[in-house]
Structure 1
Amino acid sequence: MSATGGAVTGWVLAPLALAQFICSFAGSNMNVMLNDMSEDLGTTVPGIQLSITLFLLTMAALMVPFGKLTDLLGRKVCFLLGLGIYGVGAVLSALAPGLGLLILGNSILEGAGTALLIPPVYILVTLYWKDLRSRARSFGIVSAAGGVGAATGPLIGGWICTAISWRAAFVFQAIIIVAILLLALRLRDPIPADPTMPYDGIGAVLSGAGLVVFVTGILAIDDRVVLGVVLLVAGAAIIAGFYAWIRGRERHGRAALLSTALFRNRESNLGLVTQNFQWLLLMGISFLVAGHLQVVRQYDAVESGVIFSAATVGILVSSLSAGRLVRSIAQRTLILSGFLVTALGTVLLLLVGAVPGAWPFAPGLLVIGLGLGVMLTPSVNVVQSAFPEELQGEISGLSRSVSNLGSSFGTAIVASILGLTARGPGDNYALAMVPLIVVAIAGAVVAGFLPGRRAAPAGRVARATEA
């Protein structure tokens, strides 16, 4: 069944792509409002940074549990419900008198809403478009929307913040959410919901808690090393306990939050790692460069945001082209090349760290945008196409959780190293850029182990026991 009960038409992509755009936009637009928001709310720059990281962390922690809800409630219901929760969070954030309500609205509600609405986006694309060509094109548009949202967040957010107020940026998000809701009313769910399906509540708690504790450990290492290490170990232990839990439920024939078969597909596992690294790089670089320009160099929101137009152009050009390239070039080649190009861009950013002005950052950001954009689509296609329809809810939730966990890692690692406070010296920029370069190179290495063939026909059933 299609979105309209007949043939799938182009308008179906509009609400899905816009949803990915606004959620990615929300993850990066506050990066250029650090000074304005901290002064208006009577808090500190690290306080605003904490809100950004918590938003990304909430998404990562809830993406798997909420992805599973798509089977129980239906994909359209979860999509609309997520939009509603997100919209309420945006309004609360716009009205926030202090950091506490900002964290509730932006970090918690917008994060939870995103975790609820994003899995249906990727499930519906997989189910609506069956053939390789149309699916690759559709994933290309959605991936482009996400990349452009993250890249234009600083630009649009900076302009709105300077021209009106940082609060208007959240009003802008609420307006986009209303538009998406109106467009989404025409969507149809290709697979009926099954409200009788059992839900693994304990598994949901374990998966979310493990990710929260682990990322909190990264944040704590900045000034509390012992506590940070303890939290990292505890988080890893909880995640291991989660895997043991779902494995035990499967052995006893009971429904688990995730099928362990998802972790036995080598091609999908490698694809998930590349997704994590891509979003770690995208959000980490945005967080680092925007913060450095504002806090260290004292540029305003517009000056800091305009420079990111270079990354926007790069992502838009390469990601839209990726939908065509994936049909003639092996996905491994595209992903590997993307990481190498991104690594080059990060090196360029490292070299201009001591150069006066903001425009020297443009070439590096452009190259990074080109590199990231060309590999977003094939990475998603590798993962989503590796499993049959009955596992799309689970793999979509896992895929988006891994991607958003990468975003959380990027901001948490950069924040811990950079220490963007009044005491932060400028040379911390170079120190924070080093792990990003390492991740880009590591991503190329991982991509090299992907199968060298072109994308397999959509709809194939992956061998769950693949080595």
Structure 2
Amino acid sequence: MVGPSQRRFREAFMNSQVPRGVLAPLALAQFICSFAGSNMNVMINDISEDLNTTVQGIQIVITIFLLVMAAFMIPGGKLTEKFGRKRCFVVGLLLYGVGALLSAISPGLGVLILGNSLLEGIGTALLIPPVYILTTLLYPDLTSRARAFGTISALGGVGAAAGPLIGGLITSSLSWRMAFVFQTLVIAVILVLSRKVPDPLPADPTKPFDVVGAVLSALGLILLVTGIMATDNNAWLAVALIVAGVAVLWLFFRSVRTKERAGQEPLLSMRVFASRTANLGLITQNAQWLILMGTSFVVSAYLQVVRGYNAIETGIIFTGATVGLLLASLGAERFATRRAQRTLIVAGFAITVAGVAILLTEVAVSDRAVAFEPGLLLIGFGLGAMLTPSVNIVQSAFSDDLQGEISGLSRSVSNLGSTLGTAVAGTILVAGIAATPERAYGLAMAVLAVIGVVGMVVALLLPRVNAGVVEVR
């Protein structure tokens, strides 16, 4: 809970003017982390040949990166209260930068996993929760907060959508290793810009940290996603891992309830699940990022492995998704003032599902690269239209004392969606790409379309009015 001294500190801060340039490093941080999750998709052939591995090997690198982010995002959000939001942000940036440099010089798959999947993943888990916590605290009114979240979500979506294009340009003109050097340079810029970022609340070094809860939550998510990835190799092992993951997550929530009843502070308060609106918003976030990252991996792998396109050609094809996201981002503020957040999310899912359907039908009847553009354009626009309202619905449903926990949970749910997108759709594609590539591609995209329909149904359950700031008790 926010104590009296922290409340006075917060009130004194809000009476002063927020420094200019605060939003730039926060938005850039979301951009580079989203970029890292998708830019490797166009390097599949280049990296696998250079490091003497396979498509499945690169899928494992990407999935572990996304999984580490999802698994450690909740602990990362909680640590911001103990050590301070600004400090966690900077430490995360430093870890990320070291991981990117290590990835750039990696001689084999093991070092790439250490640098990209682990160090960059942990760095992201530390730096991303502060982005959303600081934004919520620095922009207290709904209008300015929606605008700020619009900028951050837009750059995050553009980073994910433009990752294949930028990564393809760098890989084709220089080397896939230089894409990691590019990430390091962006991190250096963010570190310089972050000097202007204040922390509206002081750190509380005496705040307890639930180590058992952190281990259980991370282990449960890791087992669950690993089980999904193992389905194409060993069905019994996959089932065992999934069951173990569910069991560990059950133990985690049981531990949370036990600590709360004993008057102790758990890793994640059950109060964050008290808002029906926020719970529905979290589901839509998961579905959005699952579709975005799933589409990025499946289409990229199909283009390179089956159609024989190189990195730059694959990246150019993804321009449609980038343009769609940019168009939606440019109109985000106007959309927010004219339409309820529920309407934007429902419409976003409808447009995205239409994009996936077009992508399936057009690609099936044409072997031209341009056949991918209409579907990718709609997917990009649909996702761009609903990323901001989904984030704002969740963050604005809670008061300052729960921002650390809900930001960690929100980002964990979103990154879990990214992980599942690569794991589920990617596994379906990889399992059948050698024998029946067209069928495997169609099945993977059909699964993403079903996820989109589920997301739209959930969005229809959201309240019709815009969500305000509600303190959940």
Q: What range describes the TM-score normalised by the shorter chain of this pair?
A: over 0.9
Q: 1:432 to 1:302 in 2, by over 3 A?
A: same
In the superposition, the TM-score normalised over structure 2's length comes to 0.95
Q: 1:237 aligns with which of 239, 243, 247?
A: 247
Q: Which structure 2 residues correspond to residues 34-45 of structure 1 after superposition, within 5 A?
A: 34-45=44-55
Q: 1:383 aligns with which of 394, 406, 419?
A: 394
AA partner of residue 460 (structure 2) = G
CA distance in 1, matches of 2:14, 2:24: 14
Partner residue of 2:415?
A: 404
1:104-163 deviation line (CA, Å, top 9, x unaligned): 000000000000000000001100011111111100000000000000000000010000
1:84-112 deviation line (CA, Å, top 9, x unaligned): 00000000000000000000000000000
C-alpha displacement at 1:9, in angstroms?
4.3
**Partner secondary structure for residue 152 of structure 1:** helix
C-alpha displacement at 1:440, in angstroms?
0.6
Q: 2:337 aligns with which of 327, 331, 344?
A: 327
**Partner secondary structure for residue 183 of structure 2:** helix
AA partner of residue 330 (structure 1) = A
Q: 1:185 aligns with which of 187, 195, 202?
A: 195
C-alpha displacement at 1:422, in angstroms?
4.4
1:336 aligns with 2:341: no
Q: 1:414 to 1:221 in 2, by over 3 A?
A: same
Q: 1:309 aligns with which of 297, 311, 319?
A: 319
CA distance in 1, matches of 2:434, 2:175: 23
1:107 aligns with 2:128: no
Partner residue of 1:16?
A: 26
Q: Which structure 2 residues correspond to residues 221-370 of structure 1 after superposition, within 5 A?
A: 221-354=231-364, 355-370=366-381
1:202-245 deviation line (CA, Å, top 9, x unaligned): 00000000000000010001121111111111111111110010
CA distance in 2, matches of 1:298, 1:4: 56
Q: 1:183 to 1:3 in 2, by over 3 A?
A: farther
CA distance in 2, matches of 1:241, 1:4: 40
Partner residue of 1:430?
A: 442
In the superposition, the TM-score normalised over structure 1's length comes to 0.97
**Partner secondary structure for residue 97 of structure 1:** coil
Aligned partners of 1:28 and 1:153 also within 8 Å: yes
CA distance in 2, matches of 1:125, 1:302: 35
Aligned partners of 2:399 and 2:472 also within 8 Å: no
Aligned partners of 1:5 and 1:188 also within 8 Å: no
CA distance in 2, matches of 1:430, 1:205: 38
CA distance in 2, matches of 1:5, 1:294: 55
Partner residue of 1:143?
A: 153
Aligned partners of 1:327 and 1:455 also within 8 Å: no
Aligned partners of 1:353 and 1:430 also within 8 Å: no
**Partner secondary structure for residue 221 of structure 1:** helix
The unaligned stretches of length 5 or more in structure 2 are 1-9
Aligned partners of 2:21 and 2:196 also within 8 Å: no
Partner residue of 1:198?
A: 208
Partner residue of 1:461?
A: 470
* Higher percent of residues as helix: 2
Aligned partners of 1:319 and 1:376 also within 8 Å: no
C-alpha displacement at 1:455, in angstroms?
3.5
**Partner secondary structure for residue 130 of structure 1:** coil
Aligned partners of 1:79 and 1:116 also within 8 Å: yes
CA distance in 2, matches of 1:251, 1:326: 40
CA distance in 2, matches of 1:206, 1:25: 29
Q: 1:88 aligns with which of 98, 104, 111?
A: 98
Q: 1:272 to 1:149 in 2, by over 3 A?
A: same
CA distance in 2, matches of 1:211, 1:321: 36
The unaligned stretches of length 5 or more in structure 1 are none
Q: CA RMSD in A?
A: 1.4
C-alpha displacement at 1:352, in angstroms?
2.4
Partner residue of 2:463?
A: 451
Off by >4 Å, runs of 4+ in structure 1: 1-5, 420-424
**Partner secondary structure for residue 438 of structure 2:** coil
Aligned partners of 1:4 and 1:187 also within 8 Å: no
C-alpha displacement at 1:4, in angstroms?
11
CA distance in 1, matches of 2:41, 2:398: 36
1:416-440 deviation line (CA, Å, top 9, x unaligned): 1111664452321001111100011
CA distance in 1, matches of 2:164, 2:59: 14
CA distance in 2, matches of 1:195, 1:332: 39
Q: 1:304 to 1:12 in 2, by over 3 A?
A: same
Q: 2:39 aligns with which of 9, 22, 29?
A: 29
C-alpha displacement at 1:40, in angstroms?
0.5
CA distance in 1, matches of 2:196, 2:81: 20
Partner residue of 2:6?
A: none
Partner residue of 2:77?
A: 67
Partner residue of 1:440?
A: 452
Query: Structure 1 stretch 423-432 or stretch 109-118: which is displaced more?
Result: 423-432
1:43-65 deviation line (CA, Å, top 9, x unaligned): 11111111001000000000001
How many pairs align?
461
CA distance in 1, matches of 2:263, 2:293: 40
CA distance in 2, matches of 1:342, 1:287: 16
Aligned partners of 2:146 and 2:388 also within 8 Å: yes
CA distance in 1, matches of 2:13, 2:383: 30
Identity of aligned residues (%): 60
CA distance in 2, matches of 1:216, 1:431: 21
C-alpha displacement at 1:462, in angstroms?
2.9
C-alpha displacement at 1:359, in angstroms?
1.2
